Amino acid sequence: MNKFILSIFLLTSIFSTTKIWAQNGELKIIDVPELEEIMVQSEGDTLKVINFWATWCKPCIKELPYFVNAQNQFPEVEFIYVSIDFSENASKAEKFAQKKNLNPSGLFLIDDVDYNSWIDKVSPEWSGAIPATLIMKDSKKYFYEQEFHEGELEELIKQKLN
Amino acid sequence: MKKLISLSFVLFALLAFSFEKGGYELGDKARDFSLKNVDGEMVSMDSYENAKGFMIIFTCNTCPYSVAYEDRIIALHEKYADKGVPVIAINPNDAEKSPKDSFEKMIVRAENKGFPFPYVYDETQEITKAYGATNTPHVYVLDADRTVKYIGAIDNNTKSAEDADKKYVEDAVDAILSGKEVPVKKTKAIGCTIKWAS
């Protein structure tokens, strides 16, 4: 009986996490609870890198190629890109992300302009300025409100993986 | 001895904290400045007689979030300047890092939008650092004594003024004018990072 309940629980938890995953380079528009689901990280999970960007943010666009380099170098790491473009610009953000070769299964756009209600949920350290990146490993969160330069992100990921 | 050790720990923590966190917190007294306005004149808070407060807004030409709020910044000034709480808009961005935020481009932007408030340039970024602004737009509401009463966003809907149901800056200014406690004192908003000179 316990096993049964456990498997139901596991199944539903699998479905509830996979249902929000974006597919095939499609950018998925999400709300705050879905963003929170993406940011769930439990012990033993792979390292997650969540980058907050927008098509209008120059320093974000400048650092994206370094994220793609890291994507290629660390296939075991999950790369997630959360655009904060307005939802009417979703297709623009999607095309841009595809062109830049951002992880096709990690493309999201957070559609909630009541920013004060959710910025602290990403990190209390976040002022709200972008670019911003959250690295998650073994249920620990590391937050970076900065633009990464060549090699810096790879170095950081290596550190966190060890 | 134990006391001394714990005291030095406290001191160390205080020092570390104050070094790490630049900028104003609620209750701090904000410094005045003398910055060049788009009309060529220098603007400071001292040049306002009998001000009951200020809305100091760090904003710029280029950030889409700043642009989205321009009309609302104009409306704030029009609503409160006559009541003694004007807007002073400060562009904090380094023109080399962000050429479209140069002083010349500020003049163009101010003319196009018909800004009724001073739009001044913090060329050395000294004031921006002193206040601790991190992104644009970023608002500091001060009372008559220039005590910081509110830090954060203008309202809770960047996209549309009509859909904003929390008007943080208006509420703060209303509270100051009626001698009440500011209801929401600190908020966060998505914005463009300030382009610091290297």
Is residue B187 in some structural domain? yes
pLDDT of B195 reads: 94
In a domain, B12, yes or no: no
Select the residue from B193, B194, B195, B198 to test the A interface by mutation, using most A Cβ atoms within 10 A.
B193
Tell whether B2 is covered by a domain.
no
Tell me the average pLDDT of chain B. Answer: 92
Residue A54 · residue A62 · CB < 8 Å: no
Amino acid identity of A83?
Answer: S
CATH 3.40.30.10 for domain A22-161, yes or no, is yes
Give the number of domains in chain B: 1
Q: Which domain holds residue B113?
A: 24-193
Q: What is the CATH number of the domain that holds B128?
A: 3.40.30.10
Q: Does residue B127 lie in a domain region? A: yes
- Which of A127, A133, A146 has the most B C-beta neighbours within 10 Å, making it the best mutation to test the interface with B? A127
Per-residue pLDDT in tens (0 to 9) along chain A, 162 residues: 556 555 555 544 444 444 455 567 799 999 999 999 999 877 777 899 999 999 999 999 999 999 999 999 999 999 999 999 999 999 999 999 999 999 999 999 999 999 999 999 999 999 999 999 999 998 889 999 999 999 999 999 999 988
Does A131 lie at the interface with B, CB-CB under 8 angstroms?
Answer: yes
The label of the residue with tokens 């400048």 reads A62
CB contact under 8 A, B190 and A86: no
Partners of B190 on chain A (C-beta within 8 Å) are 84, 115, 119, 128-130
**Distance between first and last Cα of chain B:** 46
The answer as to whether B9 is a domain residue is no
In the prediction, which pLDDT does B16 show? 44
* Omega before residue B92 within 30° of 0, cis: no
Instruction: Express each pLDDT in B92-144 by its tens digit.
Output: 999 999 999 999 999 999 999 999 999 999 999 999 999 999 999 999 999 99
* Cβ pair B192:A129 closer than 8 A: yes
Question: Any CB–CB contact under 8 A between A1 and chain B?
Answer: no
Helix (H, G, I), strand (E, B) or coil at A50: strand
Q: What is the pLDDT of residue A3?
A: 61
* CA separation, residue B96 to residues A114, B99, B100, B102, B103 (Å): 32, 5, 9, 8, 11
